[in-house]
């Protein structure tokens, strides 16, 4: 299907009108400042704020998406970071999460690919540069990235597989954005090569959190694990993380299906060409859909009750819209997570590495 830059529906799953309704729901949640909270009156965080901006971009709400990035630009701290949670202008969690901060690069590059707006990219570039430089201060000797600084500024002494995977994708987007603007950041490329090697070959570098589905699919979604190894990873974890006919468990130990994790798994499956399974999973998110275009965050089985109770979240709708774009190739940014679209990184093991 040829990209039209107009987000289309998925035949038999979502109509064009339903997709437009979900996009309008997101746009209506956005505050006049440009911030996009999780739900009306709730908090927002920079990572999910960027994911929502990406969804607004693919659905043609370009001005709203740009306003979201301008909100980030205004609220960036002097060291290039952002706090974890905001309610309006008020900070409610002062932790600095490296993954959260890095995602601005993925969002700005996504916006640039979708709109070809080089002027906006140039204006947002200093924000991206500061954010990536902040994140790379916390790259560890094994190539992984320390996950956060607490509210007192103390560095947490471990790395997370999901967070570092997302940073790897953001780094690759940052390198691509730099090249598009005719800058060169070889240090970022080296950092990406070190991080990619750790993700693909050294699971021991990361805190053990494999009960979470994100630790299963994020190394594939980021492009750190590719090809036959990526497909084998899906096969090995499928029964553990996927509740057949319902979607993806957020945590493997509970039959609690979350629509955002399901949609991100759709993106990951699309990345490696497993389109049939991706379509099946996307269809299962319809159980979470509300008439206003929003989606319940999660449903617990066998009770079939929403958890958190009746909660709908902006990032859930955003993840589904991004999955729709990937499966329909509607926009010029549809392939951002697809393997082979972003430039490959060097495989850069640390000195003495045996992996």
203-221 pLDDT tens trace:
999 999 999 999 999 999 9
- pLDDT over 90 at 6, yes or no: no
Average pLDDT over residues 315-333: 98
Tell the residue number behind the tokens 């090249």, with chain if given: 179
Please list, in sequence order, all residues whose beta carbon lies within 8 angstroms of the beta carbon of residue 324, skipping any fewer than 6 positions away: 7, 8, 9, 10, 14, 19, 282, 330
- pLDDT over 50 at 295, yes or no: yes
- pLDDT over 90 at 321, yes or no: yes
Query: How many whole angstroms from its chain centre is CA 330?
Result: 19
- pLDDT over 50 at 2, yes or no: no
What global pTM score does this model have? 0.97
Average pLDDT over residues 130-139: 98
Domain boundaries, the chain: 16-328
Average pLDDT over residues 141-156: 94
Structure tokens at 46: 């920079």
- pLDDT over 60 at 3, yes or no: no
How many whole angstroms separate alpha carbon 75 and alpha carbon 82? 7
| Short-list 124, 132, 123, CA closest to 80 | 132
> 92 with 44: CB under 8 angstroms?
no
Phi–psi pair at 84, nearest 5 degrees: -75, -50
Residue 90, burial from CB neighbour count under 10 angstroms (0-12, 13-18, 19+) = exposed
Query: What is the topology classification, in CATH, of domain 16-328?
Result: Glycosyltransferase (1.50.10)
Instruction: To the nearest 10°, report the CA torsion of 177, 178, 182, 184.
Output: -150
pLDDT of residue 1: 38
> 88 with 35: CB under 8 angstroms?
yes
pLDDT of residue 55: 98
């Amino acid at each position: 299907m040829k990209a039209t830059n107009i987000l289309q529906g998925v035949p038999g799953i979502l109509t064009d009108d339903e997709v437009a309704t979900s996009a309008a729901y997101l746009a209506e949640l956005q505050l006049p400042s440009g911030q996009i909270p999780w739900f009306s009156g709730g908090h927002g965080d920079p990572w999910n704020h960027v994911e929502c901006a990406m969804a607004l971009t693919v659905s043609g709400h370009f001005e709203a998406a740009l306003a979201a990035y301008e909100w980030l630009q205004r609220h960036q701290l002097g060291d290039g970071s952002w706090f974890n949670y905001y309610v309006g202008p008020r900070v409610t969690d002062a932790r600095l999460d490296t993954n959260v901060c890095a995602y601005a690069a993925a969002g700005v590059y996504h916006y640039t690919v979708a709109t070809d707006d080089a002027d906006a990219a140039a204006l947002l570039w200093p924000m991206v540069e500061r954010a990536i430089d902040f994140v790379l201060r916390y790259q560890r000797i094994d190539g992984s990235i320390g996950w956060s600084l607490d509210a007192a500024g103390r560095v947490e002494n471990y790395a997370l597989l999901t967070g570092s995977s997302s940073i790897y994708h953001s780094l690759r987007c940052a390198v691509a954005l730099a090249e598009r603007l005719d800058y060169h950041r070889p240090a970022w490329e080296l950092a990406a090569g070190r991080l990619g090697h750790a993700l693909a070959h050294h699971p021991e570098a990361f805190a053990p959190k494999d009960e979470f589905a994100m630790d299963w699919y994020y190394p594939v979604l980021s492009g750190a694990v590719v090809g036959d190894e990526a497909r084998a990873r899906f096969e090995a974890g499928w029964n553990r993380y996927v509740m057949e006919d319902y979607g993806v468990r957020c945590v493997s130990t509970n039959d609690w299906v979350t629509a955002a994790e399901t949609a991100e798994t759709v993106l990951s499956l699309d990345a490696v060409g497993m389109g049939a399974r991706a379509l099946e999973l996307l269809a299962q998110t319809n159980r979470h859909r509300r008439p206003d275009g929003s989606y319940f965050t999660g449903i617990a089985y066998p009770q079939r009750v929403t958890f958190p109770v009746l909660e709908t979240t902006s990032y859930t709708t955003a993840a589904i819209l991004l999955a729709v774009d990937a499966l329909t190739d509607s926009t010029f940014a549809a392939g951002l997570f697809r393997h082979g679209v972003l430039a490959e990184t060097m495989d850069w093991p640390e000195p003495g590495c045996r992996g």
